[in-house]
Amino acid sequence: MASKKRFSPSKNFLRALVQIFALINKRDKKILVVLVLMSIFMSLLEVSSISMIMPFITLASSPDLVLSNPYARAIYDTLHFKTPLHFAYFFSFALVGLYVFRMGYGILFTYANSRFASQKAHALAQRLFMHHLKSSYLEHINLNLDKIRHTIMEKSGGVLMGLNALLGLLSELSVMLFLYGLLIYTNWKMTFILTFILVLQVFFITKYMSKLIQKKGHISNSTQTQSFKILSKFFGNFKLTKLKDNHEEAYQTFSQNSLNNAKANTTYRTLQAIPSRFLETVGFSLLILSVAYVLHKYGEAKMVLPIISMYALALYRMLPSLNRILEQYNTICYQQQAINSVYKDLSRFIQEEGDLALPFKERIRLRKVSFAYKRTHPILQGVDLEIKRGQKVAFIGPSGCGKSTLVDIIMGVLYPNEGQILIDNTPLTLQNIRTWRQKIGYIPQHIYLFDGSAAENVACGSPLDENRVIEVCKMAHIYDFLCQHRGIDTIIGEGGINLSGGQKQRLGIARALYDNPEILVLDEATSALDTPTETKIMEEIYSVAQGKTLLVIAHRLSTIERCDVKIDLSKPVV
Protein backbone atom coordinates (compact mmCIF):
# COMPACT_ATOMS: atom_id res chain seq x y z
CA MET A 1 0.00 0.00 0.00
CA ALA A 2 1.44 3.36 -1.06
CA SER A 3 2.24 5.66 1.80
CA LYS A 4 0.67 9.09 1.96
CA LYS A 5 2.79 11.96 0.76
CA ARG A 6 3.92 13.94 3.78
CA PHE A 7 5.27 17.45 4.01
CA SER A 8 7.67 18.56 6.70
CA PRO A 9 6.54 21.55 8.82
CA SER A 10 9.10 23.80 7.10
CA LYS A 11 7.79 22.85 3.64
CA ASN A 12 4.20 23.37 4.76
CA PHE A 13 5.20 26.72 6.25
CA LEU A 14 6.80 27.87 2.98
CA ARG A 15 3.88 26.50 1.00
CA ALA A 16 1.44 28.45 3.20
CA LEU A 17 3.48 31.66 2.72
CA VAL A 18 3.47 31.23 -1.07
CA GLN A 19 -0.30 30.67 -1.05
CA ILE A 20 -0.95 33.66 1.23
CA PHE A 21 1.04 35.91 -1.14
CA ALA A 22 -0.88 34.44 -4.10
CA LEU A 23 -4.19 35.30 -2.39
CA ILE A 24 -3.38 39.00 -2.00
CA ASN A 25 -3.39 41.50 -4.86
CA LYS A 26 -0.84 44.15 -5.87
CA ARG A 27 -2.42 46.83 -3.69
CA ASP A 28 -2.32 44.52 -0.68
CA LYS A 29 1.35 43.77 -1.35
CA LYS A 30 2.10 47.50 -1.34
CA ILE A 31 0.28 47.84 1.98
CA LEU A 32 2.31 44.89 3.25
CA VAL A 33 5.53 46.73 2.34
CA VAL A 34 4.31 49.78 4.30
CA LEU A 35 3.53 47.54 7.27
CA VAL A 36 7.02 46.03 7.07
CA LEU A 37 8.53 49.55 7.12
CA MET A 38 6.31 50.41 10.10
CA SER A 39 7.53 47.20 11.72
CA ILE A 40 11.17 48.21 11.20
CA PHE A 41 10.50 51.61 12.78
CA MET A 42 8.75 49.84 15.67
CA SER A 43 11.85 47.69 16.07
CA LEU A 44 14.08 50.77 16.17
CA LEU A 45 11.90 52.18 18.94
CA GLU A 46 12.17 48.90 20.84
CA VAL A 47 15.96 48.84 20.50
CA SER A 48 16.28 52.53 21.38
CA SER A 49 14.16 52.17 24.50
CA ILE A 50 16.29 49.23 25.66
CA SER A 51 19.70 50.61 24.61
CA MET A 52 19.01 53.82 26.59
CA ILE A 53 18.70 51.83 29.82
CA MET A 54 22.45 51.18 30.12
CA PRO A 55 23.51 54.87 29.89
CA PHE A 56 20.57 55.82 32.15
CA ILE A 57 21.73 53.44 34.90
CA THR A 58 25.31 54.66 34.45
CA LEU A 59 24.16 58.29 34.62
CA ALA A 60 21.93 57.64 37.63
CA SER A 61 24.79 56.02 39.55
CA SER A 62 27.41 58.64 38.51
CA PRO A 63 25.92 61.87 37.02
CA ASP A 64 29.38 63.42 36.65
CA LEU A 65 30.20 60.90 33.90
CA VAL A 66 28.22 63.11 31.51
CA LEU A 67 31.18 65.48 31.43
CA SER A 68 33.60 62.76 30.30
CA ASN A 69 31.44 61.43 27.42
CA PRO A 70 31.92 63.61 24.29
CA TYR A 71 28.40 63.00 22.94
CA ALA A 72 26.66 63.61 26.26
CA ARG A 73 28.92 66.65 26.87
CA ALA A 74 27.91 68.15 23.51
CA ILE A 75 24.20 67.91 24.45
CA TYR A 76 24.99 69.20 27.95
CA ASP A 77 26.73 72.31 26.57
CA THR A 78 24.21 72.95 23.78
CA LEU A 79 21.21 72.95 26.14
CA HIS A 80 23.14 74.88 28.84
CA PHE A 81 22.50 72.60 31.81
CA LYS A 82 23.70 74.03 35.12
CA THR A 83 24.71 70.75 36.75
CA PRO A 84 25.09 67.09 35.68
CA LEU A 85 22.11 66.30 37.95
CA HIS A 86 19.87 68.56 35.84
CA PHE A 87 21.05 66.67 32.76
CA ALA A 88 20.10 63.40 34.52
CA TYR A 89 16.60 64.80 35.16
CA PHE A 90 16.29 65.78 31.49
CA PHE A 91 17.48 62.33 30.38
CA SER A 92 14.93 60.67 32.70
CA PHE A 93 12.00 62.65 31.24
CA ALA A 94 13.26 62.10 27.68
CA LEU A 95 13.38 58.34 28.33
CA VAL A 96 9.83 58.39 29.74
CA GLY A 97 8.73 60.34 26.65
CA LEU A 98 10.34 57.72 24.42
CA TYR A 99 8.43 54.93 26.20
CA VAL A 100 5.13 56.84 25.94
CA PHE A 101 5.72 57.44 22.22
CA ARG A 102 6.62 53.76 21.78
CA MET A 103 3.35 52.77 23.46
CA GLY A 104 1.25 55.04 21.20
CA TYR A 105 3.04 53.94 18.05
CA GLY A 106 2.72 50.29 19.13
CA ILE A 107 -1.06 50.66 19.45
CA LEU A 108 -1.24 52.33 16.02
CA PHE A 109 0.92 49.60 14.50
CA THR A 110 -1.22 46.84 16.04
CA TYR A 111 -4.37 48.54 14.69
CA ALA A 112 -2.88 48.82 11.18
CA ASN A 113 -1.86 45.15 11.22
CA SER A 114 -5.23 43.95 12.52
CA ARG A 115 -7.19 46.13 10.10
CA PHE A 116 -5.23 44.88 7.11
CA ALA A 117 -5.58 41.20 8.09
CA SER A 118 -9.29 41.48 8.99
CA GLN A 119 -10.21 43.34 5.80
CA LYS A 120 -8.28 40.80 3.75
CA ALA A 121 -10.13 37.92 5.44
CA HIS A 122 -13.42 39.73 4.75
CA ALA A 123 -12.44 40.19 1.09
CA LEU A 124 -11.49 36.50 0.81
CA ALA A 125 -14.84 35.40 2.30
CA GLN A 126 -16.60 37.64 -0.26
CA ARG A 127 -14.52 36.20 -3.09
CA LEU A 128 -15.22 32.64 -1.95
CA PHE A 129 -18.95 33.35 -1.72
CA MET A 130 -19.08 34.90 -5.19
CA HIS A 131 -16.78 32.22 -6.61
CA HIS A 132 -19.18 29.49 -5.54
CA LEU A 133 -22.19 31.49 -6.76
CA LYS A 134 -20.56 31.76 -10.18
CA SER A 135 -19.69 28.05 -10.31
CA SER A 136 -21.48 26.09 -12.99
CA TYR A 137 -24.43 23.97 -11.89
CA LEU A 138 -22.54 20.83 -12.94
CA GLU A 139 -19.61 21.78 -10.68
CA HIS A 140 -21.92 22.68 -7.83
CA ILE A 141 -23.78 19.36 -7.73
CA ASN A 142 -20.42 17.60 -7.39
CA LEU A 143 -19.48 19.66 -4.31
CA ASN A 144 -20.44 18.95 -0.72
CA LEU A 145 -22.65 21.73 0.68
CA ASP A 146 -21.20 21.37 4.18
CA LYS A 147 -17.71 21.73 2.73
CA ILE A 148 -18.74 24.94 0.94
CA ARG A 149 -20.16 26.36 4.18
CA HIS A 150 -17.06 25.33 6.11
CA THR A 151 -14.70 26.88 3.57
CA ILE A 152 -16.54 30.22 3.38
CA MET A 153 -17.35 30.59 7.08
CA GLU A 154 -14.48 28.83 8.84
CA LYS A 155 -11.47 28.38 6.58
CA SER A 156 -11.42 32.01 5.48
CA GLY A 157 -10.95 32.69 9.22
CA GLY A 158 -7.98 30.31 9.11
CA VAL A 159 -6.44 32.53 6.42
CA LEU A 160 -7.02 35.53 8.73
CA MET A 161 -5.13 33.76 11.51
CA GLY A 162 -2.35 32.82 9.10
CA LEU A 163 -2.08 36.39 7.79
CA ASN A 164 -2.06 37.81 11.33
CA ALA A 165 0.66 35.33 12.22
CA LEU A 166 2.70 36.36 9.16
CA LEU A 167 2.46 40.07 10.06
CA GLY A 168 3.40 39.29 13.65
CA LEU A 169 6.29 37.14 12.44
CA LEU A 170 7.70 39.98 10.32
CA SER A 171 7.36 42.42 13.21
CA GLU A 172 9.02 40.16 15.78
CA LEU A 173 11.82 39.18 13.38
CA SER A 174 12.76 42.82 12.84
CA VAL A 175 12.77 43.42 16.63
CA MET A 176 14.94 40.34 17.13
CA LEU A 177 17.44 41.39 14.45
CA PHE A 178 17.91 44.91 15.84
CA LEU A 179 18.21 43.70 19.44
CA TYR A 180 20.61 40.98 18.37
CA GLY A 181 22.77 43.58 16.63
CA LEU A 182 22.77 45.67 19.80
CA LEU A 183 23.86 42.69 21.93
CA ILE A 184 26.65 41.78 19.49
CA TYR A 185 27.89 45.38 19.65
CA THR A 186 27.83 45.21 23.48
CA ASN A 187 29.53 41.84 23.96
CA TRP A 188 29.83 39.54 20.97
CA LYS A 189 31.27 36.55 22.88
CA MET A 190 28.47 36.37 25.41
CA THR A 191 25.91 36.96 22.64
CA PHE A 192 27.23 34.08 20.51
CA ILE A 193 27.14 31.69 23.49
CA LEU A 194 23.50 32.64 24.17
CA THR A 195 22.73 32.34 20.45
CA PHE A 196 24.16 28.83 20.20
CA ILE A 197 22.10 27.59 23.14
CA LEU A 198 18.87 29.28 21.95
CA VAL A 199 19.32 28.00 18.38
CA LEU A 200 19.50 24.43 19.71
CA GLN A 201 16.20 24.99 21.53
CA VAL A 202 14.52 26.52 18.48
CA PHE A 203 15.73 23.62 16.31
CA PHE A 204 14.24 21.11 18.75
CA ILE A 205 10.92 22.98 18.91
CA THR A 206 10.53 23.43 15.14
CA LYS A 207 11.80 19.94 14.29
CA TYR A 208 9.67 17.89 16.65
CA MET A 209 6.89 19.98 18.18
CA SER A 210 5.79 21.60 14.90
CA LYS A 211 5.08 18.19 13.36
CA LEU A 212 2.75 17.36 16.23
CA ILE A 213 1.10 20.79 16.02
CA GLN A 214 0.58 20.36 12.27
CA LYS A 215 -0.97 16.92 12.85
CA LYS A 216 -3.40 18.38 15.39
CA GLY A 217 -4.27 21.11 12.86
CA HIS A 218 -5.28 18.45 10.32
CA ILE A 219 -7.38 16.67 12.97
CA SER A 220 -9.10 19.94 13.97
CA ASN A 221 -9.96 20.80 10.34
CA SER A 222 -11.29 17.32 9.54
CA THR A 223 -13.38 17.14 12.74
CA GLN A 224 -14.93 20.55 12.02
CA THR A 225 -15.90 19.42 8.52
CA GLN A 226 -17.29 16.19 9.95
CA SER A 227 -19.34 18.16 12.51
CA PHE A 228 -21.08 20.05 9.69
CA LYS A 229 -21.92 16.71 8.03
CA ILE A 230 -23.29 15.28 11.29
CA LEU A 231 -25.50 18.35 11.84
CA SER A 232 -26.86 18.08 8.28
CA LYS A 233 -27.42 14.34 8.65
CA PHE A 234 -29.52 14.50 11.81
CA PHE A 235 -31.16 17.94 11.54
CA GLY A 236 -31.56 18.08 7.75
CA ASN A 237 -34.22 15.33 7.92
CA PHE A 238 -35.47 15.75 11.46
CA LYS A 239 -38.66 13.80 10.93
CA LEU A 240 -36.68 10.70 9.94
CA THR A 241 -34.41 11.23 12.95
CA LYS A 242 -37.47 11.29 15.23
CA LEU A 243 -38.93 8.19 13.60
CA LYS A 244 -35.68 6.24 13.87
CA ASP A 245 -35.47 7.37 17.51
CA ASN A 246 -31.68 7.17 17.34
CA HIS A 247 -30.98 10.13 19.62
CA GLU A 248 -28.34 8.22 21.52
CA GLU A 249 -26.50 7.26 18.32
CA ALA A 250 -26.67 10.85 17.08
CA TYR A 251 -25.41 12.12 20.43
CA GLN A 252 -22.55 9.61 20.54
CA THR A 253 -21.49 10.39 16.95
CA PHE A 254 -21.47 14.14 17.55
CA SER A 255 -19.96 13.80 21.02
CA GLN A 256 -17.04 11.67 19.82
CA ASN A 257 -16.29 14.04 16.94
CA SER A 258 -16.52 17.09 19.21
CA LEU A 259 -14.28 15.36 21.77
CA ASN A 260 -11.63 14.65 19.10
CA ASN A 261 -11.68 18.32 18.13
CA ALA A 262 -11.43 19.41 21.78
CA LYS A 263 -8.48 17.06 22.37
CA ALA A 264 -6.68 18.36 19.27
CA ASN A 265 -7.19 21.98 20.37
CA THR A 266 -6.10 21.18 23.94
CA THR A 267 -2.88 19.59 22.70
CA TYR A 268 -2.29 22.49 20.30
CA ARG A 269 -2.72 25.15 23.00
CA THR A 270 -0.57 23.20 25.45
CA LEU A 271 2.20 22.79 22.89
CA GLN A 272 1.98 26.51 22.13
CA ALA A 273 2.72 27.32 25.79
CA ILE A 274 5.78 25.05 26.05
CA PRO A 275 8.25 27.16 23.97
CA SER A 276 7.69 30.33 26.04
CA ARG A 277 8.17 28.52 29.34
CA PHE A 278 11.17 26.63 28.02
CA LEU A 279 12.89 29.65 26.46
CA GLU A 280 12.31 31.92 29.46
CA THR A 281 13.63 29.30 31.87
CA VAL A 282 16.80 28.61 29.86
CA GLY A 283 17.42 32.26 28.88
CA PHE A 284 17.15 33.77 32.34
CA SER A 285 18.94 30.80 33.91
CA LEU A 286 21.89 31.57 31.63
CA LEU A 287 21.78 35.24 32.65
CA ILE A 288 21.71 34.35 36.35
CA LEU A 289 24.60 31.93 35.89
CA SER A 290 26.54 34.69 34.07
CA VAL A 291 26.09 37.03 37.04
CA ALA A 292 27.16 34.23 39.40
CA TYR A 293 30.27 33.68 37.26
CA VAL A 294 31.16 37.40 37.41
CA LEU A 295 30.71 37.40 41.19
CA HIS A 296 32.86 34.31 41.49
CA LYS A 297 35.64 35.76 39.33
CA TYR A 298 35.67 39.41 40.43
CA GLY A 299 33.93 39.34 43.81
CA GLU A 300 31.42 42.03 42.72
CA ALA A 301 29.25 42.88 39.72
CA LYS A 302 29.35 46.69 39.90
CA MET A 303 31.72 47.04 36.95
CA VAL A 304 29.48 45.03 34.63
CA LEU A 305 26.12 46.04 36.15
CA PRO A 306 25.07 48.26 33.19
CA ILE A 307 25.88 45.48 30.68
CA ILE A 308 24.06 42.86 32.75
CA SER A 309 21.06 45.21 33.12
CA MET A 310 20.90 45.72 29.37
CA TYR A 311 21.18 41.97 28.72
CA ALA A 312 18.39 41.37 31.23
CA LEU A 313 16.13 43.90 29.50
CA ALA A 314 17.10 42.65 26.04
CA LEU A 315 16.36 39.05 27.01
CA TYR A 316 13.16 40.18 28.70
CA ARG A 317 12.10 41.57 25.31
CA MET A 318 13.78 39.03 23.01
CA LEU A 319 12.60 35.82 24.65
CA PRO A 320 8.89 36.69 24.30
CA SER A 321 9.67 37.76 20.70
CA LEU A 322 11.37 34.46 20.00
CA ASN A 323 8.44 32.65 21.59
CA ARG A 324 5.95 34.62 19.49
CA ILE A 325 7.97 33.85 16.35
CA LEU A 326 7.70 30.14 17.15
CA GLU A 327 3.98 30.49 17.96
CA GLN A 328 3.35 32.32 14.69
CA TYR A 329 5.39 29.75 12.77
CA ASN A 330 3.30 27.00 14.35
CA THR A 331 0.06 28.92 13.71
CA ILE A 332 0.86 29.16 10.00
CA CYS A 333 1.68 25.42 9.94
CA TYR A 334 -1.55 24.71 11.86
CA GLN A 335 -3.66 26.80 9.45
CA GLN A 336 -1.90 25.53 6.31
CA GLN A 337 -4.75 23.18 5.43
CA ALA A 338 -7.31 26.00 5.70
CA ILE A 339 -5.09 28.29 3.61
CA ASN A 340 -4.63 25.52 1.04
CA SER A 341 -8.41 24.91 0.82
CA VAL A 342 -9.12 28.61 0.22
CA TYR A 343 -6.26 28.84 -2.29
CA LYS A 344 -7.50 25.80 -4.24
CA ASP A 345 -11.08 27.07 -4.27
CA LEU A 346 -10.10 30.51 -5.56
CA SER A 347 -7.67 29.01 -8.09
CA ARG A 348 -10.47 26.97 -9.64
CA PHE A 349 -11.35 28.37 -13.07
CA ILE A 350 -14.77 30.01 -13.28
CA GLN A 351 -16.25 30.69 -16.70
CA GLU A 352 -17.43 34.30 -16.84
CA GLU A 353 -21.00 34.77 -18.10
CA GLY A 354 -22.51 37.88 -19.66
CA ASP A 355 -25.90 39.58 -19.86
CA LEU A 356 -26.06 40.84 -23.45
CA ALA A 357 -29.54 41.52 -24.79
CA LEU A 358 -31.43 38.41 -25.97
CA PRO A 359 -35.02 39.00 -27.14
CA PHE A 360 -37.43 36.04 -27.19
CA LYS A 361 -40.23 36.71 -29.69
CA GLU A 362 -40.69 33.55 -31.74
CA ARG A 363 -39.09 30.23 -30.82
CA ILE A 364 -36.45 28.15 -29.03
CA ARG A 365 -34.54 25.74 -31.27
CA LEU A 366 -32.14 22.95 -30.33
CA ARG A 367 -29.79 21.68 -33.05
CA LYS A 368 -27.99 18.35 -32.64
CA VAL A 369 -27.71 18.80 -28.88
CA SER A 370 -25.80 16.09 -26.99
CA PHE A 371 -24.95 15.88 -23.32
CA ALA A 372 -23.28 13.47 -20.90
CA TYR A 373 -22.49 13.84 -17.20
CA LYS A 374 -19.75 11.28 -17.85
CA ARG A 375 -18.39 10.95 -21.37
CA THR A 376 -18.90 7.18 -21.36
CA HIS A 377 -22.60 7.54 -20.41
CA PRO A 378 -24.40 9.96 -22.79
CA ILE A 379 -27.82 11.15 -21.63
CA LEU A 380 -28.85 13.04 -24.78
CA GLN A 381 -27.61 12.49 -28.32
CA GLY A 382 -28.32 14.64 -31.37
CA VAL A 383 -31.54 16.22 -30.06
CA ASP A 384 -33.37 18.50 -32.53
CA LEU A 385 -36.28 20.40 -31.05
CA GLU A 386 -38.38 23.52 -31.62
CA ILE A 387 -40.57 25.23 -29.04
CA LYS A 388 -42.70 28.18 -30.15
CA ARG A 389 -43.31 31.14 -27.88
CA GLY A 390 -46.50 30.66 -25.87
CA GLN A 391 -46.62 26.88 -26.36
CA LYS A 392 -47.37 24.49 -23.50
CA VAL A 393 -44.82 21.68 -23.91
CA ALA A 394 -44.70 18.46 -21.87
CA PHE A 395 -41.63 16.25 -21.48
CA ILE A 396 -42.47 12.66 -20.61
CA GLY A 397 -40.66 9.36 -20.35
CA PRO A 398 -39.29 6.93 -17.77
CA SER A 399 -36.93 8.01 -15.00
CA GLY A 400 -33.37 8.54 -16.21
CA CYS A 401 -34.28 9.20 -19.84
CA GLY A 402 -33.04 12.82 -19.64
CA LYS A 403 -36.21 14.91 -19.16
CA SER A 404 -34.79 17.16 -16.43
CA THR A 405 -31.39 17.29 -18.14
CA LEU A 406 -32.92 18.49 -21.42
CA VAL A 407 -34.94 21.18 -19.64
CA ASP A 408 -31.84 22.22 -17.65
CA ILE A 409 -30.04 22.71 -20.98
CA ILE A 410 -32.97 24.75 -22.36
CA MET A 411 -32.91 26.90 -19.19
CA GLY A 412 -29.16 27.50 -19.62
CA VAL A 413 -28.29 25.78 -16.33
CA LEU A 414 -26.30 23.06 -18.11
CA TYR A 415 -24.18 23.58 -21.21
CA PRO A 416 -24.50 21.03 -24.04
CA ASN A 417 -21.36 19.07 -24.90
CA GLU A 418 -22.28 19.35 -28.58
CA GLY A 419 -24.87 21.22 -30.61
CA GLN A 420 -26.44 24.63 -30.40
CA ILE A 421 -29.41 26.41 -28.82
CA LEU A 422 -31.00 29.29 -30.75
CA ILE A 423 -33.34 31.87 -29.25
CA ASP A 424 -35.19 33.15 -32.31
CA ASN A 425 -32.11 33.22 -34.57
CA THR A 426 -29.57 34.22 -31.90
CA PRO A 427 -27.27 31.50 -30.49
CA LEU A 428 -27.39 31.07 -26.72
CA THR A 429 -23.80 31.77 -25.61
CA LEU A 430 -21.83 32.62 -22.49
CA GLN A 431 -22.18 36.29 -23.41
CA ASN A 432 -26.00 36.34 -23.16
CA ILE A 433 -26.86 33.34 -20.96
CA ARG A 434 -27.58 35.40 -17.82
CA THR A 435 -30.18 37.43 -19.72
CA TRP A 436 -31.81 34.18 -20.85
CA ARG A 437 -31.99 32.74 -17.34
CA GLN A 438 -33.73 35.90 -16.11
CA LYS A 439 -36.64 35.12 -18.45
CA ILE A 440 -37.36 31.81 -16.69
CA GLY A 441 -39.47 31.00 -13.63
CA TYR A 442 -38.74 27.59 -12.14
CA ILE A 443 -41.03 25.42 -9.98
CA PRO A 444 -39.23 22.27 -8.76
CA GLN A 445 -40.73 19.19 -7.14
CA HIS A 446 -39.22 20.07 -3.76
CA ILE A 447 -39.68 23.76 -3.01
CA TYR A 448 -36.77 25.11 -0.98
CA LEU A 449 -38.09 27.40 1.76
CA PHE A 450 -35.90 29.07 4.35
CA ASP A 451 -36.71 30.35 7.83
CA GLY A 452 -38.08 33.77 6.99
CA SER A 453 -41.30 35.56 6.09
CA ALA A 454 -43.52 34.60 3.16
CA ALA A 455 -42.47 37.83 1.41
CA GLU A 456 -38.76 37.03 1.80
CA ASN A 457 -39.32 33.50 0.50
CA VAL A 458 -41.26 34.73 -2.53
CA ALA A 459 -38.72 37.43 -3.44
CA CYS A 460 -35.87 34.97 -2.71
CA GLY A 461 -32.96 37.36 -3.28
CA SER A 462 -34.70 39.76 -5.68
CA PRO A 463 -35.50 43.31 -4.46
CA LEU A 464 -38.56 43.00 -2.20
CA ASP A 465 -41.68 44.75 -3.52
CA GLU A 466 -44.60 44.13 -1.13
CA ASN A 467 -47.25 45.00 -3.72
CA ARG A 468 -45.74 42.53 -6.19
CA VAL A 469 -45.55 39.86 -3.47
CA ILE A 470 -49.26 40.32 -2.69
CA GLU A 471 -50.10 40.23 -6.41
CA VAL A 472 -48.30 36.93 -7.11
CA CYS A 473 -49.58 35.37 -3.86
CA LYS A 474 -53.12 36.12 -5.04
CA MET A 475 -52.31 34.62 -8.45
CA ALA A 476 -50.99 31.48 -6.72
CA HIS A 477 -54.07 31.34 -4.39
CA ILE A 478 -51.95 31.44 -1.22
CA TYR A 479 -52.76 35.01 -0.11
CA ASP A 480 -56.04 34.14 1.68
CA PHE A 481 -54.21 31.56 3.79
CA LEU A 482 -51.46 34.06 4.67
CA CYS A 483 -54.07 36.66 5.67
CA GLN A 484 -55.33 34.25 8.35
CA HIS A 485 -51.97 34.75 10.04
CA ARG A 486 -49.70 37.80 9.55
CA GLY A 487 -50.17 38.30 5.83
CA ILE A 488 -47.00 38.29 3.77
CA ASP A 489 -45.04 38.69 7.03
CA THR A 490 -46.11 35.18 8.11
CA ILE A 491 -43.06 33.19 9.22
CA ILE A 492 -42.72 30.09 7.05
CA GLY A 493 -40.24 28.12 9.17
CA GLU A 494 -37.17 26.16 8.05
CA GLY A 495 -38.12 24.00 5.04
CA GLY A 496 -41.71 25.36 5.17
CA ILE A 497 -42.45 23.37 8.32
CA ASN A 498 -45.56 25.50 9.00
CA LEU A 499 -47.13 24.78 5.57
CA SER A 500 -48.87 21.83 3.95
CA GLY A 501 -47.54 20.27 0.73
CA GLY A 502 -50.04 22.19 -1.41
CA GLN A 503 -49.27 25.48 0.33
CA LYS A 504 -45.55 24.99 -0.27
CA GLN A 505 -46.19 24.44 -3.99
CA ARG A 506 -48.37 27.56 -4.17
CA LEU A 507 -45.63 29.58 -2.51
CA GLY A 508 -43.22 28.09 -5.07
CA ILE A 509 -45.54 29.21 -7.88
CA ALA A 510 -45.66 32.74 -6.40
CA ARG A 511 -41.87 32.77 -6.27
CA ALA A 512 -41.61 31.65 -9.92
CA LEU A 513 -44.03 34.41 -10.99
CA TYR A 514 -42.46 37.18 -8.90
CA ASP A 515 -39.98 38.41 -11.54
CA ASN A 516 -42.64 38.15 -14.28
CA PRO A 517 -40.83 35.51 -16.38
CA GLU A 518 -41.61 34.81 -20.03
CA ILE A 519 -41.12 31.06 -19.52
CA LEU A 520 -42.43 28.85 -16.70
CA VAL A 521 -40.79 25.49 -16.00
CA LEU A 522 -42.46 22.79 -13.88
CA ASP A 523 -40.00 20.06 -12.93
CA GLU A 524 -42.35 17.36 -11.59
CA ALA A 525 -43.72 20.17 -9.44
CA THR A 526 -46.92 18.32 -8.41
CA SER A 527 -45.75 14.69 -8.35
CA ALA A 528 -45.69 14.57 -4.54
CA LEU A 529 -49.28 15.84 -4.19
CA ASP A 530 -52.53 13.89 -4.07
CA THR A 531 -54.63 13.87 -7.25
CA PRO A 532 -57.30 16.45 -6.23
CA THR A 533 -54.66 18.93 -4.99
CA GLU A 534 -52.52 18.31 -8.08
CA THR A 535 -55.48 18.91 -10.41
CA LYS A 536 -56.37 22.17 -8.65
CA ILE A 537 -52.79 23.48 -8.66
CA MET A 538 -52.28 22.57 -12.34
CA GLU A 539 -55.46 24.50 -13.21
CA GLU A 540 -54.03 27.49 -11.34
CA ILE A 541 -50.69 27.14 -13.15
CA TYR A 542 -52.35 26.97 -16.58
CA SER A 543 -54.38 30.01 -15.61
CA VAL A 544 -51.39 32.17 -14.61
CA ALA A 545 -49.34 30.85 -17.56
CA GLN A 546 -51.63 32.47 -20.15
CA GLY A 547 -49.38 34.16 -22.71
CA LYS A 548 -46.26 32.49 -21.30
CA THR A 549 -44.26 29.55 -22.61
CA LEU A 550 -44.81 26.57 -20.30
CA LEU A 551 -42.41 23.61 -20.04
CA VAL A 552 -43.72 20.70 -17.96
CA ILE A 553 -41.80 17.62 -16.80
CA ALA A 554 -44.22 15.00 -15.53
CA HIS A 555 -44.89 11.29 -15.04
CA ARG A 556 -48.68 11.47 -14.76
CA LEU A 557 -50.53 11.99 -18.03
CA SER A 558 -53.33 13.81 -16.19
CA THR A 559 -50.85 16.60 -15.45
CA ILE A 560 -50.17 17.34 -19.11
CA GLU A 561 -53.63 16.97 -20.67
CA ARG A 562 -53.78 20.66 -21.61
CA CYS A 563 -50.27 20.80 -23.14
CA ASP A 564 -50.00 21.62 -26.85
CA VAL A 565 -46.97 19.40 -27.47
CA LYS A 566 -45.89 16.18 -25.74
CA ILE A 567 -42.28 15.07 -26.19
CA ASP A 568 -41.47 11.48 -25.22
CA LEU A 569 -37.78 11.28 -24.28
CA SER A 570 -37.85 7.48 -24.42
CA LYS A 571 -37.90 7.92 -28.20
CA PRO A 572 -35.41 9.81 -30.40
CA VAL A 573 -36.19 13.53 -30.36
CA VAL A 574 -35.83 14.81 -33.92
The answer to whether residue 356 is domain-embedded is: no
Residue 498 lies in a domain: yes
* Cα separation, 113 vs 61, whole angstroms: 40
Residues 380 and 237 in one domain: no
Predicted model pTM: 0.71
Residues 501 and 564 in one domain: yes
Residue 392 lies in a domain: yes
| 53 and 87 part of one domain | yes
Whether 106 and 237 share a structural domain: yes
Is the per-residue pLDDT at 388 higher than 50? yes
**Strand order through the sheet with 392-396:** 440-444, 519-523, 549-553, 392-396, 565-568
Write down the pLDDT at residue 4.
46
- Residue-wise pLDDT for 17-31, tens only, equals 888 888 888 898 899
pLDDT given at position 451? 84
**Claim to verify: residue 338 and residue 418 sit in the same structural domain:** no
**227 and 368 together in one domain:** no
On whether residue 353 sits in a domain, the answer given is no
pLDDT tens, residue by residue, 489-499: 998 887 788 88
Q: For position 249, which CATH number holds?
A: 1.20.1560.10
β-strand partners of 366: 385, 421
Same domain flag for 134 and 217: yes
pLDDT digits (tens, 9 = 90+) for 176-199: 888 788 778 877 777 787 778 777
Q: Is 377 helix (H, G, I), strand (E, B) or coil?
A: strand
Paired residues of 567 in beta bridges = 395
CATH number at residue 446: 3.40.50.300
> Are 188 and 311 within 8 A, CB to CB?
no
Is pLDDT of 364 > 90?
A: yes
Q: What integer is the mean pLDDT of 352-358?
A: 90
Q: What is the pLDDT of residue 2?
A: 42
Which region holds residue 504: left if phi is over 0, alpha if psi is between -120 and 50, else beta?
alpha
Residue 81 clears pLDDT 70, i.e. is over it: yes
| Assigned domain for 6 exists | no
Residue 574 maps to a domain: no
Do the domain assignments include residue 258? Answer: yes
Domain boundary among 347, 371, 397: 347
Q: Are residues 163 and 279 in the same domain?
A: yes
Q: Are residues 193 and 69 in the same domain?
A: yes
Q: What is the pLDDT of residues 287-320, one digit of tens each?
A: 777 667 666 665 665 666 667 767 777 777 777 7
**What is the pLDDT, as a whole number, of residue 3?**
43
The yes-or-no verdict on residue 40 having pLDDT over 90 is no
Longest dimension (CA), the chain: 111
- pLDDT of 426-469, one tens digit each? 999 999 999 999 999 998 888 888 888 999 999 988 889 999 99
Is residue 159 over pLDDT 60?
Answer: yes
* Residue 552 and residue 467 share a domain: yes
Residues 300 and 369 in one domain: no
Considering 347, 371, 406, which residue would you say is the last residue of a domain?
347
- Tell me what pLDDT residue 574 has: 47
Mean pLDDT score of the chain, rounded to an integer? 82
Choose the final residue of a domain: 288, 319, 347. 347
**Out of 283-292, 301-310, 411-420, 558-567, which region has the weakest mean confidence (pLDDT)?**
301-310
> What's the domain range around 205?
13-347
Residues 67 and 95 in one domain: yes
**Domain presence at residue 573:** no
Greater confidence (19 vs 501) lies with 19
Q: Measured between alpha carbons, how far is 353 from 351 in angstroms, rounded to an integer? A: 6
Number of domains in the chain: 2
Which of 86-90, 363-367, 544-548 is modeled with the greatest confidence?
A: 363-367
